[in-house]
Amino acid sequence: MLAQLKEVESNINKDLAAGLITQGDAATQIAALNQAQGAYTDNKIAEILLTDSVLDKTTTGTASLNVLVKQAELRSEVAQLDIAINVAEKQLQEENRQVDRLRQAIATAKQSPYYLNASGQQRLYFAFVPYDDQANAVAGAAIYDCYLNMILCRKVGTVKQIFPGEEQAIHPIFKTQIRGFLIQMNLDRAESAKSKTVFLGSKPVLF
């Protein structure tokens, strides 16, 4: 546009020099050209200001976009943490259940005569009791030992505790398999622990 204005001004000067227009007409046309050039300059200034304003708003929009992106990232991290917490809580619950099962297993094992025998610092004495003699197997019941398994019986101790769980053994006389359970004995005579048979509650009948 500036090039066109300059070309028009050059033509005005040529027409004035050739006498085709008067000096007043030339002045009027040049004034109009100057006004057009000023309007062009004003428009360029307005364009620059508008561009600056757009850039400012664009920058603000970019900052807002960055904030939204950061919020999305934080929400994603929070969601991942929630999932990790839920998984950890479930794992902790399962581990607690496993600990409870182990404690129960340990408690059961501690009720075993084998555990007491392995962990005790002093010698412990146990005996197998067939189910047929279960009625006589009570804590505090007297224990009798007899010569030749049946004669000259004497009290040698008492029953200390009865253990749960079934055991199997071979009958010392009839050599058949029998079922029963184990007891722990408090013996006044340690040598009685070597006897094949002891009696609970009372001496054998007729002896």
- Predicted local distance difference test score (pLDDT) of residue 113: 79
110, 133, 156 — which closes off a domain?
Answer: 110
The answer to the question of residue 206 being in a domain is: no
Q: How far apart are CA 134 and CA 42, in angstroms?
A: 118
Do 161 and 187 lie in a common domain? yes
Do 99 and 129 lie in a common domain? no
Do 7 and 60 lie in a common domain? yes
Q: How far apart are CA 50 and CA 60, in angstroms?
A: 15
Do 85 and 17 lie in a common domain? yes
Let me know how long the chain is. 207
Q: 129 and 143 in contact (C-beta within 8 Å)?
A: no
Q: Is residue 132's pLDDT more than 70?
A: yes
Q: How far apart are CA 46 and CA 40, in angstroms?
A: 10
Range of the domain at 29: 1-110
Helix, strand, coil percent values for the chain (each to nearest 5): 60, 20, 20
110, 132, 151 — which closes off a domain?
Answer: 110
The answer to the question of residue 94 being in a domain is: yes
pLDDT in tens, 35-73: 766 666 766 776 767 766 665 655 555 666 777 788 888
- Predicted local distance difference test score (pLDDT) of residue 169: 85
Confidence of residue 202 (pLDDT cuts 50, 70, 90): confident
Do 7 and 101 lie in a common domain? yes
Query: Exposed, middle or buried, 48 (CB in 10 Å: 0-12/13-18/19+)?
Result: exposed
The answer to the question of residue 183 being in a domain is: yes
Average pLDDT, the chain: 79
